[in-house]
Amino acid sequence: MDIFIPIYFDGEDLRYYHTKKIFNYLSIIREELKKEDIILSFTVIGSNGELSRNLFNDIFKEEDDIYLEFEQKYKPKKFIYVVSPFDESKRNDKNYVKKYKRENKEKILFVEMLDKKFYLGWMESMKKKKDISFLMGSNDLISKSFFIQVKDNFNPSEKQIYGINRKNYCLFMQVDNKLKLSMDNVLSIWNCQYENHPKINLAGGIVGLNNFELVKDLFEKESWNEIALEYELQKKDFKTTFVKKTYYLNIKTDNDLSGFIKTNTGIKLERIKDEIKNTFSIYNKI
């Protein structure tokens, strides 16, 4: 399995040190997963020159690990990635379209740039011809059990999509300057289900596929986020591989925290609480 990770930080800020912890966590579970006959490699797409390249070189040292530099012209700002919904009923209204483009210009440019960064990552990851290529968020901590279940359900003769599906758990978390995690840091818990996208089975955090050569043309035309990717692959008869009783942590720093309010969703974690606490322990010790 190859995991490609697009990264960006503003110098040695809090996100830089958090990314460093994520990388070290991945290095630790990589060794543990070898006991399960699961071999991970990493493709990191950075945009901070020597700073991000050195971070990669300090942690990912195996032959199949690669780093590539991507020129990121636009810096992420508060909610810059959230483009306002376009009213399709007004597509022929020139004044509306002009105003929409003007108001969303910076956001659209950022999203287009991010698409190009994702495209580079997909292409480089898939050149390795691994059984599965994944896209993973740089602020996401993925449970070890996820990779074990993917391996158990892997079938090269089928067209499969992988990710953390609905009825599992995403913990939105805040990390402070001490870079420590506990249940006190949980902002909200999500059941990984998009209410507005009933046909979408997978949440964010991590998403991947096998049999890439069958759909290479999709990536040549356009890069895809996790929702668009699942929609398009479903059209090509790819099937979602479901996992159970697993989770990921979406850990917020700095600008990522904007707009987040601590919310009790009533979702209980009793079935996986011990595993989550073990993940906290690994992160905190790094």
Domain CATH code at residue 98: 3.90.550
Confidence (pLDDT) at 35: 96
| Window from 65-69, 149-153, 164-168, 218-222 with minimum mean pLDDT | 218-222
Name the residue among 239, 286, 84, 268 with its Cα closest to residue 171: 268
Any domain includes 139: yes
Q: At 255, is the pLDDT very low, low, confident or very high (cuts 50, 70, 90)?
A: low
| Window from 86-100, 177-191, 208-222, 247-261 with minimum mean pLDDT | 247-261
Q: At 79, is the pLDDT very low, low, confident or very high (cuts 50, 70, 90)?
A: very low
Any domain includes 234: yes
Any domain includes 196: no
Other residues' Cβ atoms within 10 Å of the Cβ of residue 151 = 16
Any domain includes 216: yes
Any domain includes 112: yes
Any domain includes 83: yes
pLDDT in tens, 113-127: 888 888 889 999 999
Any domain includes 283: no
Number of domains forming the structure of the chain: 1
Confidence (pLDDT) at 81: 52
Any domain includes 248: no
Confidence (pLDDT) at 256: 65
Confidence (pLDDT) at 284: 93
Host domain of residue 57: 2-166+202-243
Q: Checking phi first, is residue 192 left (phi over 0); if not, alpha (psi -120 to 50) or beta?
A: left
Confidence (pLDDT) at 148: 97
